[in-house]
A and B are shown apart, each in its own frame.
Chain A
Amino acid sequence: MDDVQARLAKCFTAVFPELPRSQIPAASLTSVKEWDSVATITLMTVIEEEFGLQFEPEQLEQLVSFPSILEFLRGRKDD
C-alpha cells in the first residue's frame, strides 16, 4: 500500500469505522450501507483536509468508490 492509498484508507476508516480494513480497497457507494449523502460530504471534507485540495461539486458524482477516489488522487499527483 503506497502513501496515497494509506492516507486515503485512513480517511475511510475515520468516516466508516465499522468497515473492516480488508474491505476498504473495494469500498463503494453501493457496497457500504453507511455511505449516504451525509457520509459523502464528510468523506470528501476529510479527504480535502488530508490532501489539501478542494473538490468541485460535479467531481463528487464520479468519486463513488475507493478505487475511483484513489485514481483521482493519483492523477492529481501526476499533474
Chain B
Amino acid sequence: MMKLIDALQIARREPAPGATPLAVALVCGFSPLHLQTFLAANLRLLFPDRQVDVQTGLYGDLAGNLERLETATVDAGAVVMEWSDLDPRLGIRRLGGWGPGDLGDIVENVRAQAARFRGLLERISQGIPLAFSTPTLPLPPLSFMPGWRASAFDLALRESIASLEISVAPHLGLKMVNSQRLSLLSPPGDRFDVKSELLAGFPYTVSHADAVAWMLARLIRNPTPKKGLITDLDDTLWSGILGEVGVDRVSWDLDHRSQKHGLYQQLLRALAEEGVLIAIASKNDPGLVEEAFRTANPILPLSRVFPVEAHWGPKSESVARILSAWNVGADSVVFVDDSPMDLAEVKAAHPDVECLLFPKNDDQAAYELLERLRDLFGKDSVSQEDAIRLESIRSAHAVAEGAPADARSSDRFLEQANGELTLAFAKDPPDPRALELVNKTNQFNLNGKGYTEAAWRAHLAKPDAFLLLAAYQDKYGPLGKIAVLSGRRDGRVLWVDVWVMSCRAFSRRIEHHCLAQLFERFDAEELAFDFVATPRNGPLQDFFVQFVGGPPQPGLCISKKTFFEKCPPLFQTIEDSAHG
C-alpha cells in the first residue's frame, strides 16, 4: 500500500501538457484530510493522462454535500458514508447519549436517514457516476451487550445499511465498495483512529484511508475487462500429464486431491458463459486431447473453447494463432500455465499478454489465482452479446476461411450470407453497450478516444447529437451490437466524432452500410470525421483509403457523391430497432 508522503508527491505531480481535467467530488461528512490525498494519488496513477482535481464539501453535512453534487460540474463522485452521518450519536465527537433508552431512536433515525440517502443516491447517479462506500468503521460501544455478542441493535443498524446497498446496487451509475475485499486490504480492527477523529475530525487510520481510496479510485476508473484467456492443459486445467498417465488418470476432484483444477475449470466455464473467450495452448497429442474432452467430461467442455492449439510446437506460436483467430490485442489476453518456462517464452514473444502461473502445488495460491482472474475479467453486467460472442467468433472464422479473395466472389459470398443490419438511433437513455464498445474497441476506432460515463452522457445530451448503434446477424449466426457511430449535425454536414466497430464484424461491408445509412437518414452531403491515426486503428485507415485514395489525414471528409461512387455493392437488409 501507499505511504502518505508518497501519496502527497504523486497527487502533486505535474500532469502532461494538454491533459484534460478529471474533476471528482469526494463527498463525506468528516474532514477529508488524508482520504482526499490518497484518492487524488490513486486517481493520478489510474488516469495518467488526466489532470486530477478532487473537490470536497462541508464538514458534517454528507446529505447536503450529496445534494450539492447534483448541480456540480464533475466527472464522478466518491461518496463515503460513516455511521455518524446516519446518526451523530454513532460517532465519538457528539455526546447525545448511549443509554438503553436511546437505542430504539437511533435505529429509527438510521432507517430514516438510509431511506433519504437511497433517494439521493438513486437520483444523482442518473447524472453523475458514483463510487459509494457504506460505513466501514466499527460501531461504538453503545449497546448494553458485551462486544463479542451481536445485539439486536447492531443487527438492526446493519440491516438498514444492507437494505440501502441492495436498493442502490442495480443502478448502473453507482458502483459500491466490496466490503469483503476492503477487509482484506484493511482489517476492521486497524481502521479507526480515535486520536485523529478527536483532534481533526478525520476518523480513518492512514492505512485505512489508503485502502478506501484505492477501492474508490478503481470504481471510478472501472477498468476495461480482459477479453480472452488462454490456458494450458496438463497440471493446469487438470492434474496429470495426459501423455504419461492417459485419459483415465487426469483428474480435477477432491478424491484425487486435485480440486483446485476443478475450481479453475469451474471459473473458466463461468467466464466463458459471461462472454470471455477461452482457448487452449498445450504441448500435447491433439488426438489425446480430443479424446480427453470427449470421454472424461471436464467441467469446461470443448464447446466452450475456441480455438484449441494442441501440438508440440512453441506456445508463443499457439498464442499468436489464437490472437489472430480471436482478432483481439495481446493486452486483452491472459495466459495461464504451470510452467514458468512456457510463461517466459510466451511473455518474450507477446509482452503485452498477462502471463500467470498456475501454482499446481499450492492450494492457497491457486485460490488466489481464481480471485485474480475474477478481477481481471470482472464486468458491470452480462449482455446478450456476451452470450453469443464465442459462436460469432467461430462463425467469423468460418467466414474468413470460406471468404473468396476476388471482388466478384466476395459479392456472391456476402449475398448468400443473408445479412441483416438492425439500427437503433435512441440516445436517451443510451444503450450501455454503446459506451462499452467505444471504450474497448481498438482496431476499427476512429480516433482511440475513450469516454467516462459522464462525458458520454454530456456528449449525447447536445441538441444536435446523434447516436447510431448497429447490430448484425446472418446465416452464420448473430454478432449482436457491433458498431457505434456518434457525432452531431451541422446543416448538411454530419460530424462523426465516434466510430467503432467490433473486429468480429469485419469483411461484411457493415462499415460501408453504416455510412450509407448516415448519408440517407440525415440527408447529409458530407461526412466530416474526427479522425486520428493510432498505433492500432490500421483496419479503419485501410477502409478510408478506398475513398480518399491514400492514407487518411486529420480533418478527413467524404462527400456523398464520392462515397456512393466508390462504395461496393451492399447486400444486407436494414431493420430499424423496435427499441428506437
Contact = CB atoms under 8 A, between A and B. Distances in A.
B462 interface: no
B90 interface: no
Interface in B5-46: 5, 8-9, 12, 31, 33-34, 37
B196 interface: yes
A49 B202 contact: no
Interface string A1-36: 000000000110011010000000000000000000
A10 B5 contact: yes
Contacts of B206: 45, 49
A15 B12 CA distance: 10
Contacts, number: 39
Nearest to A47: B5
A15 B11 CA distance: 11
B33 A42 contact: yes
Contacts of A49: 3-5, 206
Contact of A41 (B5, B12, B202): B202
B327 to A, nearest CB: 47
Nearest to B205: A45
B199 interface: yes
Contacts of B34: 42, 45
B25 to A, nearest CB: 18
Contacts of A60: 199
B195 interface: yes
A57 B31 CA distance: 17
**Residue from B5, B195, B200 with most neighbouring chain A CB atoms (10 Å):** B5
Given A41-B33, A45-B206, A14 B200 contact: no
A68 B114 CA distance: 47
B200 A46 contact: no
Contacts of B196: 41, 45
How big is chain A's contact interface, by range? Answer: 10 to 19
Contacts of B4: 42, 45-46, 49
A49 B542 CA distance: 56
A37 B3 CA distance: 21
A41 B9 contact: no
B5 A46 contact: yes
Nearest to B6: A14
A57 B4 CA distance: 20
Contact of B199 (A14, A41, A50): A41
**Residue from B4, B31, B198 with most neighbouring chain A CB atoms (10 Å):** B4
B200 A17 contact: no
B205 to A, nearest CB: 10
Interface in A26-79: 37-38, 41-42, 45-46, 49-50, 54, 57, 60
Interface of A: 10-11, 14-15, 17, 37-38, 41-42, 45-46, 49-50, 54, 57, 60
Closest 6 pairs (CB-CB, A-B): A14-B8, A14-B5, A41-B200, A46-B5, A46-B4, A49-B3
Given A14-B8, A14-B9, A42-B34, 9 more contacts: A14-B5, A15-B8, A45-B206, A46-B5, A46-B8, A49-B206, A54-B195, A57-B199, A60-B199
21 contacts: A11-B5, A14-B8, A14-B9, A17-B8, A38-B33, A41-B33, A41-B196, A41-B199, A41-B200, A42-B8, A42-B37, A45-B196, A45-B206, A46-B4, A46-B8, A49-B4, A49-B5, A49-B206, A50-B5, A57-B199, A60-B199
